[in-house]
């Protein structure tokens, strides 16, 4: 099983490293700044400064996603590797980590490595919930789906939050012996420590990770009821609950230690961090204009993720979901495990579906447990023949290789991947919000070509002005009338009125359209 987990983790890492350094999202400059401030505070022993609760003025002064602790640790690791590489002359560029393309790439690589390890751990854990084959199938979806690959290659929070929560729930179920009892794992101290660490890291990454808490409480309640029910007739209730109690105490201690060690700003400045947490939660319920199903709306809708997430799946992932979930629920050997994971997903789906701000990447928290359920459908049945098991094993191997090769072809632009069965990127632009400022690097290089490399005095308005690390040509100006180029990004175009569009393009000529995977990401309009 460890060999299989390692192989899937290796595939996940290769695909993510293939993507690293290709594009930059609008939030990553903030995370490089936060990582730089965090690592400086740790080095100089100033724990109260080990957090940036709001983006610096240059980044718009917006409140940062909280707490973001594991992301800052990984960014700090990337900064360390970047500093060593710079001292050895391996990388060049800006002497500041937060303004260096290579520095950002190192931070992205650290996240890629962390998510690959978590996916390998998922293979092992799902394998214990179901069978080794189930673990491999679930892990392959997480490792090779372009949507997962893309988000595992950015210095951000969403995939880390999802994978920490998923692996934490799986480990918790094993150590508590629910829904499946494993003699060698129940109440094991090392597994209790692992489960607590993973579960606490999910909300430490992003506060929405708390949505996994109800599922965790259900598992604990289940374990308590089982211990009470299975005690000997007229037996001592305290004796029956003692092993479980020690396990829960171990987990509680681990959680406290992890919070204290990983998040020094909390105990150094508790009021400031708690205030920032509250404000961060409000972001999710702040209504904002967005595009959905061909119209501009304000606020969220309960159907957003049910509509948007299928666009982000490969055809085989969508087919696996449609077939695998009912199969896992229908089979007696996997029914309880599948129901447990789906029940744990309900609070997560409710929180996300009632939020005012909805983006498809938030749905990774839902897709993680669903991938595990699809994997459970591949569990070897009790009456399965050796021949059938061998055929199924080879089918998984061949399918895994093909999915990896396909994802390699899609990479490094998995962020622009949309399900071809549903119309791909052309249809997605008409149905769901598209773009996270990836592609602005290509637009900048396009401006450089249009200027024949002479970018002195070139100005632009409306394009990725926050993304200073990957800018190749020109400087941003707020005066759109005098700007050399007016750049219209796909996300802005989706919510832009016709009147606004005419105002931006008046007196200008369309000189280039940046297409990535058939999606018109950026229009470049030059002043006549």
Distance CA 422, CA 94 (A): 43
Question: Per residue in 138-154, is it b (16+ CB within 10 Å) or e — as a string?
Answer: bbbbbbbbbbbbbbbbb
| 152 close to 14: Cβ distance less than 8 angstroms | no
Looking up tokens 């929070």, which residue turns up?
157
Handedness of CA 238, 243, 244, 246 (dihedral sign): positive
| 97 close to 85: Cβ distance less than 8 angstroms | no
3-state secondary structure 10-73: HHHHHHHHHHCCCCCCCCHHHHHHHHHHHHHHHHCCCHHHCCCCECCHHHCCCECCCECHHHHH
CB atoms within 10 A of CB 195: 29
Q: How far is CA 469 from the centre of its chain?
A: 22
Handedness of CA 356, 361, 364, 365 (dihedral sign): negative
Looking up tokens 């681990």, which residue turns up?
254
Which pLDDT does position 466 carry in this prediction? 56
The rounded average pLDDT for each run of 10 residues, N- to C-terminus, in the chain (528 residues) is 92 98 92 93 82 50 78 97 94 86 95 98 96 96 98 97 98 95 90 98 96 96 91 77 95 97 90 85 78 90 96 97 96 94 95 92 97 94 78 93 97 96 97 94 93 92 67 84 93 94 94 96 94
Q: How far is CA 296 from the centre of its chain?
A: 26
| 404 close to 144: Cβ distance less than 8 angstroms | yes
Distance CA 34, CA 54 (A): 9
- Going by their DSSP bridges, the two strands 485-489 and 519-527 should be labelled as antiparallel
| Domain boundaries, given as residue ranges, for the chain | 2-266+293-410, 440-527
Cis bond leading into 412, ω under 30°? yes
Which pLDDT does position 480 carry in this prediction? 86
Angle (nearest 5°) at CA 260 between 258 and 266: 130
E strands present in 398-507: 459-461, 475-476, 485-489
Which pLDDT does position 334 carry in this prediction? 94
Which pLDDT does position 2 carry in this prediction? 83
Please state the pTM of the whole predicted model.
0.95
Distance CA 400, CA 501 (A): 45
Token readout for 48 is 């109260």
| Residues 6+ positions from 241 with CB-CB distance below 8 Å | 224, 227, 228
Token readout for 438 is 């990836």
Distance CA 151, CA 406 (A): 17
Angle (nearest 5°) at CA 170 between 168 and 172: 65
CB atoms within 10 A of CB 254: 19
Handedness of CA 143, 146, 148, 153 (dihedral sign): positive
Closest CA to 141 of 429, 377, 434: 377
Which pLDDT does position 32 carry in this prediction? 93
Angle (nearest 5°) at CA 262 between 66 and 168: 80
Closest CA to 63 of 269, 349, 262, 285: 285
DSSP state of 206: B
The end-to-end CA distance of the chain, in Å, is 64
**DSSP three-state, residue 461:** strand
Distance CA 439, CA 428 (A): 16
CA atoms within 13 A on the CB side of 269: 14
Distance CA 453, CA 324 (A): 53
Looking up tokens 């699809």, which residue turns up?
374
3-state secondary structure 336-384: HHHHHHHHHHHHHHHHHHCCCCCCHHHHHHHHHHHHHHHHHCCCCCCCC
Looking up tokens 């080879």, which residue turns up?
394
**DSSP three-state, residue 525:** strand
């Amino acid at each position: 099983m460890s060999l299989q987990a390692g192989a899937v983790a290796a595939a996940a890492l290769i695909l993510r490293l293939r993507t690293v350094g290709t594009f930059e999202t609008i939030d990553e400059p903030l995370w490089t700044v936060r990582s730089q401030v965090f690592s400086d505070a740790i080095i100089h022993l100033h724990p109260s400064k080990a957090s940036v609760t709001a983006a610096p003025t240059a980044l718009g002064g917006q409140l940062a996603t909280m707490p973001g602790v594991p992301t800052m640790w990984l960014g700090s690791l990337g900064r360390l590797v970047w500093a060593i590489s710079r001292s050895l002359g391996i990388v060049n560029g800006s002497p500041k980590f937060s303004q260096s393309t290579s520095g950002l790439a190192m931070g992205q690589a650290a996240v890629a490595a962390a998510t690959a390890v978590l996916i390998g751990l998922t293979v092992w854990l799902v394998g214990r919930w179901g069978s080794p084959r189930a673990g491999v199938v679930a892990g392959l979806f997480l490792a090779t789906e372009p949507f997962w690959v893309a988000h595992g290659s950015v210095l951000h929070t969403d995939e880390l939050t999802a994978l920490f929560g998923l692996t934490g729930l799986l480990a918790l179920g094993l150590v508590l012996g629910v829904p499946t009892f494993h003699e060698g794992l129940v109440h094991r101290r090392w597994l209790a420590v692992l489960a607590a660490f993973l579960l606490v890291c999910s909300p430490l990454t992003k506060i929405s990770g708390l949505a996994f808490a109800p599922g965790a409480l259900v598992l604990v309640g289940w374990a308590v009821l089982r211990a009470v029910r299975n005690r000997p007739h007229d037996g001592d209730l305290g004796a029956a609950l003692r092993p479980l109690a020690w396990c829960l105490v171990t987990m509680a201690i681990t959680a406290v230690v992890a919070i204290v060690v990983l998040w020094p700003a909390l105990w150094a400045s508790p009021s400031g961090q708690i205030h920032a947490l509250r404000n961060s939660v409000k972001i999710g319920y702040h209504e904002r204009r967005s595009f959905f199903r061909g119209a501009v709306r304000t606020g969220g809708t309960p159907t957003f993720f049910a509509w948007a997430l299928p666009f982000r799946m490969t055809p085989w992932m969508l087919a696996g979901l449609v077939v695998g979930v009912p199969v896992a629920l229908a089979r007696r050997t996997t029914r309880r495990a599948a129901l447990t994971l789906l029940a744990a997903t309900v609070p997560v789906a409710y929180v996300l579906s009632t939020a005012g701000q909805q983006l498809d990447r938030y749905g990774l928290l839902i897709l993680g447990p669903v991938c595990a359920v699809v994997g459970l459908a591949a569990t070897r049945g009790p009456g399965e023949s050796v021949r059938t098991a061998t055929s199924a094993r080879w089918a998984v191997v061949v399918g895994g290789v093909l999915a990896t090769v396909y994802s390699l072809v899609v990479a490094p632009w998995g962020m622009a991947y949309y399900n071809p069965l549903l119309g791909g990127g052309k249809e997605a632009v008409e149905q769901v919000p598209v773009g996270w400022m990836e592609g602005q690097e290509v637009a900048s290089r396009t401006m450089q070509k249009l200027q024949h490399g002479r970018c002195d005095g070139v100005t632009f308005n409306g394009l990725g002005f926050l993304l200073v690390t990957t800018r190749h040509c020109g400087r941003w100006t707020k005066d759109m009338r005098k700007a050399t180029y007016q750049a219209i990004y796909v996300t802005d175009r989706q919510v832009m009125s016709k009147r606004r569009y005419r105002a931006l393009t008046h007196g200008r000529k369309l000189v280039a359209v940046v297409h990535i995977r058939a999606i018109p990401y950026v229009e470049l309009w030059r002043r006549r």
